A and B are shown apart, each in its own frame.
Chain A
């Protein structure tokens, strides 16, 4: 774990020491701000809880997109630059490499996500809402982001370069997102399986409404775990491929 944290620290430092890291945060903030003003605040006067709910709705979209862009470089960049064998020849285990890089990406995504917190808090100026609702929404965003990042890490482990990694991650995310549709057209028990697998439709709306279900928290943690486990196995596969 210590080595994983070392890798995480190094990776995070690399992200925050370059201007590109701040550029990504600023871009996401601007997009979130635009969507917040265009959809949550515009038109007829909306109720406070509706405004906050809409904010979390589109923030979930930007979080997933940001996750793909943050994670695409994690392992694919090392492979592209030819530094992966160097990393593999160090005394660091594969799962530590994956975990370290994922943790760094997660901290970066958390910084990015939490930097938008002033938007729902603006509602407090002219409306009324509970801080619990905001906390639940951000917990949902962080869990969704964690699951998306883990899937992105798997995509990055599978791909030879960053573009392919983004494509792989995007495809896996879309596949998981469209599970809700498969759940609608299939019969039980397949519909139950697809329904439970749906990345957004089944599990995010409660967070958006300020309700925390243990089943949703567990789902996102399990997706994170399985995707990181698979990424580790894929990284290990270079030894026997």
Chain B
């Protein structure tokens, strides 16, 4: 026997209303009497809906009864979910153990979805049959199945998403990603002479904290003397106070009483830039806590290059500064101080000088100053000389050591850096010919990947025979076919000799039982300045040279930092980009579209 479709859905509306009231009580009311009141009202409505449904099952007959049973079962399934929710919320499941609380937390939404999904589709189907003379149970069954399938798909989707989120597998394909320890930092850790503690203060499961911890864990594999600890400042306020940390997002490097702090944002997008320079920052702080600070004296008073750029005067031309070199020296924990007549250069070089640098003097230092420098080197000092073709050749200082500066500028017709698009660019020599000497070890390791630019360099000469106990290594040579541009026209003349001229030499005199004297001579002062182009190996040349002069050549190596490059474009290039992106590309697409559709029309004709 069949009967007409059961008019739905007062009972379902009551059921939905009951769940809505319960949701309001649980999620909106917050707590107290409001929650209690709404909970009681919702519960009462739910029970009423269940009783009404039960009564409808009793009253219905035939296929209508089957439909009412399905509806009643879905009601019960949802009510079971609600009941379990309240059991969990009131702590009734504690006795079964925490794992049961978790299981029920997952089960509650699953039951609700499995009840409400099919119920919605069932009511949709029944609503469609409202004016039909008989109830077609097959249609309702199909709707029920469809609803159940959709509910199961949702459960599957949420479960899969939960698992994928928990796995948290990721790949950072960006150019500027969180750095990994570079060779220089690894070398520094390998050379640690005492324990260094690195304490990270980050909240649990913080992305930035995890990135830094991963970096430091990898670094700690290099030496057991590096101890890494991750703490939450909120949980360990005492330890944080002891290390001078007031909030999370701090990394403290400590050795005995020496402490260095690195502050990082807690939010990953904001911290991205800092994470890209993490290796450099860690290297600097590790050096500061693990090694004594050294002093590099920069001579003054002879028109040399200074740290700050200088505008042209009536007597001297403009000179670029050396702020980039200063930055690198700061990373190496080397302090730069001036050294001139006022600082006593005519008498002697200060006793705390780790290195003395004379960069691009325009005038010859006085005899007393040269004598002071000579004495300094003879007793094991470290001298860094960078001379220009137009400047003094310091022959009285250099020739007794077996070195000479030719004073003739060099140029190359093919291997040069194009800067001004004038013929003078031929003087911007690009070379990647390095010896395996420690003063250029990183460049030698990088090989053809690294080139150094010397702008307006002069050739150096090694005089034979060399003095006793002295070794000289030509560390950087110009590219073959580099010519001595005697007439300064930047063009190779037939009488201008060509060769792979020495551009940098490392001089060393070893004495038994005493520190070795070391001198590095460069045939160009601009190679040290901010005028040197970025993106070339000039920075490695400077860092390795300083490390060799300091006697710390074992620490040479690349830091894994990459500097993001600003997109620079002229107004003309701007216009080209604009027209190509806004007009040219769409016009091309329309052109292709026109061709395709016209050909098709033609073919049809």
- A205 CB-CB contact with B under 8 Å: yes
Give the chain A neighbours of B154 by CB distance below 8 A.
226
Whose C-beta in chain A lies nearest to the C-beta of B562? A128
In the assembly, what is the distance between CA of A210 and CA of B142, in Å?
45
Q: Considering the chains assembled together, what is the distance between the CA atoms of A135 and B172 in angstroms? A: 11
A230: Cβ under 8 A from any B Cβ: yes
- Interface residue stretch chosen among A27-35, A70-78, A84-92, A162-170: A27-35
CB-based nearest A residue for B139: A240
Please give me the residue from chain A that is nearest to B147 by CB atom. A233
Partner of A212, one of B158, B170, B175, B573: B170
- Would A19 and B172 count as touching, CB distance under 8 A? no
Contact of A229 with B150 at beta-carbon distance under 8 Å, contacts A48-B175, A118-B585, A133-B175 already known:
yes
- Using CB atoms, name the residue of chain B closest to A209: B174
Interface string of A42-61 (1 = CB under 8 A from B): 00011111110000000000
Give the docked Cα–Cα distance between A32 and B164 (Å): 32
Q: In whole Å, how far is B47's beta carbon from the nearest beta carbon of chain A?
A: 25
Residues in A whose Cβ lies below 8 Å from that of B153: 225-226, 229-230
The complex places the Cα of A232 from the Cα of B581 at a distance, in Å, of 39
Cα A37 to Cα B566 in complex, Å, equals: 15
C-alpha spacing A233/B172, complex, angstroms: 38
B314 at the interface (CB under 8 A from A): no
Q: Is B337 an interface residue (CB 8 A)?
A: no
CB within 8 Å for A46 and B146 given contacts A17-B600, A23-B590, A119-B581: no
- Kindly provide the distance from the CB of B102 to the nearest chain A CB, expressed in whole angstroms: 12
By the criterion CB–CB under 8 Å, are A46 and B566 in contact? yes
- Choose among B124, B165, B587, B600 the residue that contacts A237 (Cβ–Cβ < 8 A): B124
> A214 to B142, Cβ gap below 8 A?
no
* Cβ–Cβ < 8 Å partners of A127 in chain B: 565-568
The reply to whether B173 and A212 contact each other, CB–CB distance below 8 Å, is yes
Residues of A within 8 A of B90 (CB): none
A18, closest chain B residue (CB):
B597
Tell me the dominant secondary structure on chain B's binding face: helix
B100 part of interface (Cβ distance < 8 Å): no
- Find the A residue at minimum CB distance from B164: A218
A128 closest partner in B (C-beta): B565
What's the least CB distance linking B278 to chain A, in Å? 16
Q: Among the listed B157, B164, B596, which residue makes an inter-chain contact with A215, where contact means beta carbons less than 8 Å apart? A: B164
Cβ of A81 within 8 Å of any chain B Cβ, yes or no, is no
Most chain A CB within a 10 A radius of its CB, from B174, B569, B593: B174
C-alpha gap A218/B175 in the complex (Å): 24
Q: B594, A19: Cβ atoms under 8 Å?
A: yes
- Nearest-neighbour CB distance to chain A for B562, whole angstroms, equals 8
As a 0/1 sequence over residues 149 to 181 of chain B, the CB contacts with chain A under 8 angstroms (1 = contact) are: 110011001101100110111111111110000
**Which chain B positions have C-beta within 8 A of A2?**
none
Chain A residues lying within 8 Å of B592, measured Cβ to Cβ, are: 22
Q: Are A233 and B150 in contact (CB under 8 A)?
A: yes
Q: Is B467 an interface residue (CB 8 A)?
A: no
Closest chain B CB from A224 CB (angstroms)? 10
* A123 in the interface (beta carbon within 8 A): yes
Inter-chain contact A27/B586, CB cutoff 8 Å? yes
Contact A226 B567 (CB under 8 A): no
- A205 — which chain B residues lie within 8 A by C-beta? 269
Answer yes or no: A65 CB below 8 A from chain B CBs.
Answer: no
**A80, CB-defined interface residue at 8 Å:** no
Which of A48, A206, A214, A240 interacts with B566 by CB under 8 Å? Answer: A48
Is B577 interfacial (CB 8 A cutoff)? yes
Please give, as numbers and ranges, the residues of chain A lying within 8 Å of B121 by CB-CB distance: 233, 237
Say whether B172 contacts A211, CB under 8 Å.
Answer: yes
Determine the chain B residues whose CB is within 8 A of the CB of A135 once the complex forms.
Answer: 173
Q: Are A240 and B140 in contact (CB under 8 A)?
A: yes
**Complex alpha-carbon distance, A2 and B141, angstroms:** 30
How far is B171's CA from A212's CA once the two chains are assembled, in angstroms? 5
CA A19 to CA B591, docked complex, whole Å: 10
Residues of B within 8 A of A34 (CB): 581-582
Residue of A nearest to B591 (CB): A22
How far, in whole Å, are A36 and B577 apart by their CA atoms in the complex? 10
A214 touches B176 (CB 8 A): no
Partner of B174, one of A25, A27, A49: A49
Q: A119-B581, A210-B177, A241-B125 are in contact. Are A51 and B567 (CB under 8 A)?
A: yes
Given contacts A50-B564, A225-B157, 13 further A-B contacts (CB under 8 A): A19-B593, A22-B589, A34-B582, A47-B565, A48-B564, A49-B564, A126-B569, A132-B174, A136-B173, A190-B27, A215-B161, A225-B153, A230-B153
Of the A-B pairs whose beta carbons lie under 8 Å apart in the complex, a sample of 18, sorted by A's number, is A21-B593, A23-B593, A26-B593, A29-B581, A41-B567, A49-B174, A122-B577, A187-B27, A189-B105, A190-B27, A211-B172, A211-B173, A212-B171, A218-B164, A225-B157, A226-B153, A233-B147, A240-B136
Nearest 9 Cβ contacts at the A-B interface: A22-B593, A210-B174, A132-B173, A33-B581, A240-B139, A26-B586, A130-B175, A218-B164, A127-B567
Q: Which residues of A contact B (CB under 8 A)?
A: 16-19, 21-23, 25-27, 29-30, 32-34, 36-37, 41, 45-51, 115, 118-119, 122-123, 126-130, 132-133, 135-136, 186-187, 189-190, 196, 205-206, 209-215, 217-219, 222-223, 225-226, 229-230, 233, 236-237, 239-241
